[in-house]
Structure formats: structure tokens, C-alpha cells
């Protein structure tokens, strides 16, 4: 019998949503028990729990709205008490539903059925394309060493004052990081998981992202959230809940890097609740909860720009107005486009306007350099770090560098500093669809913050 993977959202006024989810993650049997208690409400319809079935509590309900103010205290010493004050409105359970039962299930008033759609990494397998003037398409301009990027980012202005990202933790939400090479100190784990934090090979996409964070912030530390062991939005949802759980315990991570998303735009008439179209999808609400808790989230714009799109992109998702979507286009996150070291937009970098927030991407960052990939590096060969996948952790590393220098830097202030100090690359002053507000610069952002009277750490 044909089945479809979905996320079932049940009404639930949970008294202790964090304890509930943490218990489910720690014990596969508890996860099944919790999930089955909800699915039993619609018994007899052939619904089966998904393999990874830990229920996720939602603090923002299916009608949208604001995150509970108590989440804002997750960055302060009062976070332990705040965890007990935060209540869930609903609970999301990943499941498999027979296609024949979908219409009946969608008609049930006590629950909401959401897509649990496949997601892709934003690595870049490029079709042959001719380079246009002012763009970098295949054959690409030569990649550069990370020292070139550090000079362009002007990190020395902060390094010389003793700031190198120390005491800052960046969460890599990806397919996994090699902890023998990069400073992984924790992350998401569960007893029945095949991949634990730090257990991926150095050739992984997540290891590339880890290397690229360290370009600007070599002394920061990393959490590994390998959700692409469950490569769907439901997997991302659980990783963001894990970030929120950890944030409520000790105020970390401070930043997340997200170099993944969707590579096409489904028909809205057939898929109105798809993650690309519905801003109230649980994964988007969970991202908003995480940002409310004080975590700055960097998202890749994507690799479906019209000039030389990745071969992974579906034709319907290519070009301006269609290629920056889903969580990557939320107003609350920092969305990153890609340029090379010559300040040319790399032609696959997705162009705005965003499908949720029009002025996306927010900034541009650097790609096409020898970080994790390249001769003499952990992943030896002729490849180089590429895609908006690489540009985004470079930006996240700048964010970590700034956070080590500026006390209490909030996600909103981070975005204002990076966009307000960016070097404009467009033909007109201000935001443009290709590179946002311009290319980021650590020294300029630091100066902007100091000019606002923000105290140093």
C-alpha cells in the first residue's frame, strides 16, 4: 500500500515540553510511547510511526503568531526557570499515512497534516554555462587560499584586539562533521542513531561547513546536528528543537549554520501547505522559536540562480523571485548569497526577492576557496569549497567573531550590523536581488556596532 511521509500536528497543552522531548530523544522506547499516544487518536487509518518518531512540541501554534516571551530568557541566567514556564500548544509527530486515507485524515478537526518534504544540501554540481559579464560561471575563476578571504573580511581588526571567536558555539545543522579534525564538543545524539556528533568523514558537506566557520573564528567551538540522516523537513524540525533544548540548558549554541533547503517550487494549487509556500509550516515556526531564544540563524540563499544554476535545481525553482524560499526566506534569519574573491556574484547564487520576505538575500559572503577541500587539506584533491553552502558558514564565522567581541549580541542586532556595514556591490545604492545589502566585512561590522555604543565583551 502506497504511503506518504507527513507531519501530524495534534493539539496538546503540554506542561513540560522540553522535558518531554528530551526524554523521547534519550529513549527510543519513550519516543514510540509518546508518539503512539497521539497517533492512537486517529486509530484504524493505517498510520505508522516514522522511523525517527520523537514528538516535537510547538510553542507557536498552527495559526502562527508570536513565540512565547519566556523563550527570550534562554540567553540569560533565568533560562532554567523559563523552561518550566514555556508551554506547548501542539505536538508534531512524524508518520507515514496511506494515500487512500489522506483526504479523511485532512478532514479531522483535531489535527493538521503537514508535508514532510525531502531537503537537499546546497553543494554545487554545475551544468555547463557560459560566463556572463560581471559573473563567475563555469569555468570558474581560480579558487583562493583562506588567507585571501581573511584579508577581504578584515578579521585582523578583531584578532589584534584578542577576539577570535572564543567562548562562542556554532551549531552545524547538516549531514555531520568530522570531530577528529574540527572542534566538535557536542550536538544531537540518540541511542538508536547511526551517526553521532563528530562521527562523519572529513569529506562530508558538514565538515566543509565546519572548516568554513573557522575561517573568521578559529577559536570557536562546534555542535554537530546531523539531521540529513533524516533528509526531510521533519529531520530539520527535530534538530532545531535540539538547539532549543540545549539553549535552555546553558545558553548555547549562539549561532546555527544552515546550508540546505529546497531546489524547486511545487505547484501551490496542488501543494498549498508545502514548506516553500506555507510560512506556518512547523519547521518555519520552530526556526522562529529558536531565533526568539537568542540564536542567530544563518541560511544559504541556494544555488538556483538563473545564470548558471546547479544541475540539482528543478526548472520551476530557478531565478529571481523563485529560488530563495522556505526557511531560507524568513525575515528572522540572515540569508547569504555567494560571491568570489573578486567580488563577482557567482552565477548559481539564488536571487531574490524571497518568497516570504521580499528583501532576500540579506548579505553576500565568499565562496570558491580552499578550506576543507583542496590540495594538501583533509580532503585532498582538486576540489574547493563552493556553493552558497560555503559562503554561509564564512558569514556564520564572522558572526561568531563579532559575538566574541560584543557582549549580548542579539540576532536582530547581528543582522543590522552585517547589513548596515556591508560593502554594496549592486549598480544602485541599497539592497539588490543578487547580493543583498552587499558583501560582509568583519571590521566594518565591528566598527558599526561600536558606533552604536554597544559594549565590548
Query: Looking at residues 142-163, what average pLDDT do you find?
Result: 97
Q: What distance in Å separates the CA atoms of residue 234 and residue 94, rounded to the nearest whole number?
A: 7
Q: What distance in Å separates the CA atoms of residue 345 and residue 313, rounded to the nearest whole number?
A: 18
Q: Is the pLDDT of residue 150 over 80?
A: yes
- Residue 101 binned pLDDT confidence (cut-offs 50, 70, 90): confident
pLDDT digits (tens, 9 = 90+) for 366-409: 999 999 999 989 988 889 999 999 999 999 999 999 999 998 89
- Count CB atoms within 10 A of the CB of residue 16: 15
59 is written with which cell numbers? 510553542
pLDDT digits (tens, 9 = 90+) for 9-52: 999 876 688 999 999 999 999 999 999 999 999 999 999 999 88
- Count CB atoms within 10 A of the CB of residue 24: 23
pLDDT (0 to 100) of residue 14: 65
Q: What distance in Å separates the CA atoms of residue 85 and residue 69, rounded to the nearest whole number?
A: 10
pLDDT (0 to 100) of residue 284: 98
pLDDT digits (tens, 9 = 90+) for 206-263: 999 999 999 999 999 999 999 987 899 999 999 999 999 999 999 999 999 999 999 9
pLDDT digits (tens, 9 = 90+) for 326-360: 999 999 999 999 999 999 999 999 999 999 999 99
- Residue 168 binned pLDDT confidence (cut-offs 50, 70, 90): very high
Q: What distance in Å separates the CA atoms of residue 328 and residue 122, rounded to the nearest whole number?
A: 12
Give the β-pairing of 363-366 and 260-261. unpaired
**Residue whose C-alpha cell reads 565538515 in the numeric block:** 207
Q: How far is CA 156 from CA 373, 399, 408, in A?
A: 24, 15, 22
Q: What distance in Å separates the CA atoms of residue 452 and residue 78, rounded to the nearest whole number?
A: 27
pLDDT (0 to 100) of residue 131: 45
β-partners of residue 232 are 118
pLDDT (0 to 100) of residue 129: 43
Q: Is the pLDDT of residue 169 over 50?
A: yes
Q: Does residue 164 contact residue 219 with C-beta atoms inside 8 Å?
A: yes
Query: Looking at residues 290-296, what average pLDDT do you find?
Result: 97
Helix 205-213, helix 387-405: angle, nearest 10: 40
pLDDT (0 to 100) of residue 124: 58
| Phi, psi (deg, nearest 5) at residue 69 | -55, -25
Please name each of the domains of the chain with its CATH number.
3-115 (no CATH), 120-451 (3.40.50.200)
Q: What distance in Å separates the CA atoms of residue 314 and residue 328, rounded to the nearest whole number?
A: 17
pLDDT digits (tens, 9 = 90+) for 108-129: 888 999 999 999 998 754 444 4
Q: What distance in Å separates the CA atoms of residue 457 and residue 441, rounded to the nearest whole number?
A: 19
pLDDT (0 to 100) of residue 191: 83
Q: What distance in Å separates the CA atoms of residue 344 and residue 392, rounded to the nearest whole number?
A: 16
Q: What distance in Å separates the CA atoms of residue 365 and residue 144, rounded to the nearest whole number?
A: 14
Q: Pick from 330, 259, 257: which is nearest to 292 by CA?
A: 330
Q: Pick from 83, 85, 93: which is nearest to 245 by CA?
A: 83
By the 10 Å C-beta count (0-12 exposed, 13-18 middle, 19+ buried), 99 is classed as exposed
Dihedral sign, Cα of residue 131, residue 136, residue 138, residue 140: positive
Q: Is the pLDDT of residue 130 over 50?
A: no
Please give the mean pLDDT across all residues of the chain: 93
Q: Is the peptide bond before 361 cis (omega within 30 degrees of 0)?
A: yes
367 Cα distance to chain centroid = 17
β-partners of residue 10 are 91, 111
Q: Pick from 316, 346, 438, 444: which is nearest to 122 by CA?
A: 346
pLDDT (0 to 100) of residue 453: 86
Q: Is the pLDDT of residue 287 over 60?
A: yes
Amino acid at each position: 500500500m502506497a504511503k506518504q511521509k507527513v507531519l501530524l500536528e495534534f493539539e496538546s497543552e503540554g506542561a513540560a515540553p522540553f522535558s518531554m522531548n528530551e526524554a523521547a530523544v534519550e529513549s527510543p522506547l519513550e519516543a514510540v510511547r509518546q508518539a503512539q499516544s497521539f497517533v492512537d487518536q486517529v486509530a484504524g487509518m493505517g498510520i505508522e510511526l516514522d522511523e525517527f518518531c520523537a514528538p516535537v512540541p510547538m510553542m507557536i501554534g498552527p495559526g502562527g503568531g508570536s513565540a512565547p516571551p519566556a523563550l527570550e530568557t534562554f540567553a540569560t541566567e533565568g533560562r532554567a526557570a523559563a523552561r518550566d514556564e514555556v508551554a506547548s500548544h501542539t505536538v508534531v509527530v512524524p508518520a507515514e499515512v496511506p494515500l487512500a486515507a489522506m483526504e479523511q485524515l485532512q478532514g479531522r478537526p483535531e489535527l493538521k497534516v503537514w508535508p514532510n518534504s525531502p531537503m537537499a544540501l546546497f553543494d554545487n554540481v554545475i551544468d555547463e554555462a557560459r560566463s556572463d559579464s560581471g559573473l563567475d560561471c563555469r569555468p570558474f575563476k581560480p579558487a583562493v587560499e583562506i588567507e585571501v578571504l581573511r584579508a577581504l573580511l578584515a578579521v585582523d581588526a578583531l584578532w589584534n584586539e584578542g577576539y577570535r571567536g572564543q567562548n562562542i558555539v556554532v551549531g552545524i545543522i547538516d549531514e555531520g562533521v568530522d570531530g577528529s579534525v574540527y572542534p566538535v564538543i557536542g550536538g544531537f545524539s540518540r541511542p538508536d542513531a547511526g551517526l553521532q556528533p563528530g562521527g562523519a568523514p572529513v569529506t562530508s558537506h558538514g565538515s566543509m561547513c565546519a572548516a568554513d566557520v573557522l575561517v573568521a573564528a578559529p577559536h570557536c567551538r562546534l555542535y554537530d546536528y546531523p539531521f540529513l540522516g533524516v533528509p526531510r523537513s521533519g529531520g530539520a524540525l527535530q534538530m532545531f528543537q535540539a538547539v532549543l533544548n540545549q539553549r535552555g540548558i546553558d545558553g548555547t549554541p549562539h549561532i546555527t549554520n544552515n546550508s540546505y533547503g529546497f531546489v524547486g517550487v511545487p505547484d501551490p494549487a496542488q501543494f498549498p501547505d508545502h514548506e516553500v509556500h506555507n510560512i506556518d509550516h512547523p519547521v518555519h515556526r520552530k526556526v522562529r522559536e529558536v531565533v526568539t531564544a537568542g540564536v542567530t540563524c544563518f541560511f544559504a540563499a541556494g544555488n538556483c540562480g538563473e545564470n548558471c544554476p546547479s544541475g540539482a535545481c528543478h526548472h520551476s525553482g530557478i531565478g529571481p523571485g523563485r529560488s530563495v524560499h522556505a526557511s531560507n526566506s524568513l525575515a528572522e534569519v540572515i540569508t547569504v548569497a555567494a560571491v568570489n574573491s573578486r567580488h563577482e556574484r557567482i552565477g548559481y547564487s539564488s536571487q531574490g526577492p524571497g518568497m516570504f520576505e521580499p528583501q532576500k538575500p540579506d548579505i553576500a559572503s565568499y565562496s570558491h576557496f580552499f578550506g576543507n577541500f583542496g590540495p594538501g587539506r583533509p580532503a585532498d584533491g582538486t576540489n574547493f569549497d563552493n556553493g552558497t553552502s560555503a559562503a554561509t558558514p564564512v558569514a556564520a564565522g564572522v558572526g561568531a567573531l563579532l559575538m566574541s567581541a560584543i557582549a549580548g549580541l542579539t540576532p536582530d542586532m547581528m543582522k543590522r550590523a552585517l547589513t548596515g556595514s556591508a560593502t554594496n556591490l549592486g549598480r544602485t545604492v541599497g539592497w539588490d536581488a543578487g547580493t543583498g545589502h552587499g558583501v560582509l566585512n568583519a571590521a566594518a561590522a565591528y566598527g558599526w556596532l561600536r558606533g552604536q555604543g554597544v559594549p565590548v565583551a
